[in-house]
Every structure is written in C-alpha cells, then in structure tokens.
Copies of this chain bind each other. A is one copy, B any other.
Amino acid sequence: MVNVAILGFGTVGSGVAQVLAENSAEIAAGAGEAVQMKYIVDVRDFPDSPFGKLVTHDFAVVEQDPEVQVVVETIGGCGVALAFTRRALEAGKHVVTSNKQLVAEHGRELLALAKEKGVNYFFEASVGGGIPLLRPLFNDLSGNKILAIKGIVNGTTNYILTAMQNRELELDAALKEAQALGYAEANPESDMNGMDAVRKACILANLSWGRELKPEQVSVIGIQNVQLQDVRNAQAAGGALKLLAWLSKADDGQIYAFVEPHVVMGSSMLCHVDEAYNAVIITGNAVGDALFFGTGAGSIPTASAVVGDVVDAVRHLSAPRGIGWTEEPVLLGDPDTLVSRWYLRSGSEYTVTEPCSASQLPPAEVRYRVLD
C-alpha cells in the first residue's frame, strides 16, 4: 500500500480526494497496489467533508512521515507551493501537480531536484486539464522528432469566443456569463491576456525539445480586444476565431512560439472545438498529426490527470521516468517571418490574404493568422 498526501484542498485537491476514494479499485489495479490518502494539508478545516479527519495544518507532518511516498500539490502559484514541493522532493517523496505556473517557471529546477533524489515530478494536469497529453508526448511519441504543437489550451477564452459566435454576445457580456457559470475566475486577467496559454505552451515546448522556453520569450496577443464583428467574419469565411498556442521547430533548429487569436478554417479539427473544451495537435515526423481533445479544466477532469500521475508514480517508485530539460536557451525564431494566410480588417471591410509573411502585409486595424 502506498500513502498519499494532498496539499491544498481547493477545487482540484478536493476532486483528487473524491476520485481516489471513488475509483480506488481501478486505481489499485493500475498501480499494482492500493493507494491510500493519509493527509490533506490546508490552512482551513473541512469538518463537513468526508475527508475532514485527514486534514492537518502542518506540512512538516507530511514531510517527516516516511510512510508518505507520493505528495499531490494542488495549491497553485509559486509561493508556498514551490517551498513545499522542494521540501517534499528533498525528503525523497514523489510529487504530482496541476500547477502550470510553478512548472513553467520552476519546472527545470524541480525536475533536476527530483532526478537527484531518484523520484518523479509529474504534471500531466498542468496542460489540457484531464486530457492525456504530456505522457503521450514523452512516452508514445518518443520515437518522433516533434515538429509542431498547435492547440486550444485555455478553456475560459474558448468558452467566451464560442458564446460570442453562437449567441452574438459582445466580449464583455460573454466574459460575465463565463464568470457566472464558473468558467472564468473573478480575476480573469491571465486567461484573457493569454498568459495562461503561454505557460502551457512553455511546458509543451520544454518537454518536446529539451531546452527551456521562458514565458517572456513567447509572443502573445490575448482576446481582450477581440470584437464581435471579427468573430462573425471568421464564421462567414468558413471558420471560427480561436485563441491558439503555436509552437514549431524549423529545420535550422529555430523555435517559433506565440499565442494569438487565429481564424481557424473548418477543414481543421480545431475549428470544431467549442465551449470550454481544449484540443492540441502534436505533429511528429513519424506520426503526422495526432490530436488530443477533452475537458481542459474543472475539478474532477483535472483530478483524473492528477490521479493518472499518482498511479504512474506508484508504478515507478524506484525507477523514476527522468523527464526534464536543460538551461540551454532555445534558438528563438521571429514569428513575423512565418508564412501564413492572414485575416485583415479595417473598419467593416475584411479580407483573407494569400500566404505571406507579416512584413508583406498592407496596413490594417486588425490582423490575425489563418489556420487551414
């Protein structure tokens, strides 16, 4: 039997507790042994939760208990989460997380520490929520040179753009609706300005190409200024407006990385990804295009990915997977030199261009790349 501690009993942490309890038979079958929750670490108490008696306020209890072999970090952010993750790894415990900010900003250091200590640091839930994505990338597709990754990795903005398209809502109204339904947080800034997608893009790039892409190296345009008329025009042109994360590696080794609204044409599967769903296309030189689609957020779907990591950690207690990336900087290409078709609008007039680079474009009030 393996004992697990959950750090942070919020949306994701409580989902992990629920899935560990409800699917214990499947989890034991997958892991090869029973997985038991021993502690939940949180500053609050949860007297009404069926797991309330597991709560402790003191991380040191977990840190010093040799029976705890796997720690689930669902605190979020880079404060306490970073400190506790370091201490758990130092104590020789495997750590599993859904914390994309921590992985994007400190993943290299934490993976190196995990390697040094002979344990796993897994973060499947940090990109694409419940969708199996990172493990297929570094396991199933390990016989490929990864050429490109393109995807819808932020469910909040996809919900908003879908609402604008299907129900003719202005951006502000769609955002308010997303907040009312729990698809957007009270402070939606990192979703709206694309930073959340940037962090996920960095994690994907780091795993694909082994060098550290930093969030500040990713060119970003959020959806804050998207107008209803652009959403309408995209649909009239046979597509849909989507916020895409784009990563590609050229033959010369240069990496192109940006997050921007795109007009995605109906011939692409990504055009049909609506509501809060996520989808990512990984292009490998052997597999061609492989697409992964599903629920990119939410308590229980995200917990599915976290628990999948727990199972894999238990299966590899003494043989860690050894993923990671180096400090060596990426060779960064200039996105403006990448050839694509473009959506251009000035006033109420729009056009879709032939393939060209950004420097060849005429002036326009709005310009978005087109994905065919």
Contact = CB atoms under 8 A, between A and B. Distances in A.
A30 B138 contact: yes
Contacts of A23: 143-145, 285-286
Interface in A58-111: none
Q: What bracket does the count of chain A residues touching chain B fall in?
A: 35 or more
Contacts of A319: 315, 319
Interface string A110-131: 0000000000000010000011
A223 interface: no
Given A139-B135, A142-B31, A305-B140, A269 B293 contact: yes
A29 B311 contact: no
B304 A26 contact: no
A240 to B, nearest CB: 12
A201 interface: no
Contacts of A19: 143, 286
A269 B272 CA distance: 7
A239 interface: no
Given A285-B23, A311-B139, A291 B290 contact: no
A210 to B, nearest CB: 7
A180 interface: no
A322 B189 CA distance: 46
Nearest to A27: B143
A75 B322 CA distance: 34
Contacts of A300: 286, 288
Interface string A276-298: 00010000111111111111000
A165 to B, nearest CB: 14
A273 B145 CA distance: 25
B143 A26 contact: yes
A308 interface: yes
A210 B139 contact: no
B269 A311 contact: no
Interface of A: 19-20, 22-23, 26-27, 29-32, 124, 130-132, 135-136, 138-145, 210, 269, 271-273, 279, 284-295, 300-301, 303-308, 310-312, 315, 319, 321-322
14 contacts: A22-B285, A27-B142, A131-B287, A132-B132, A132-B139, A141-B308, A271-B272, A286-B301, A290-B292, A290-B294, A290-B295, A292-B292, A292-B293, A319-B319
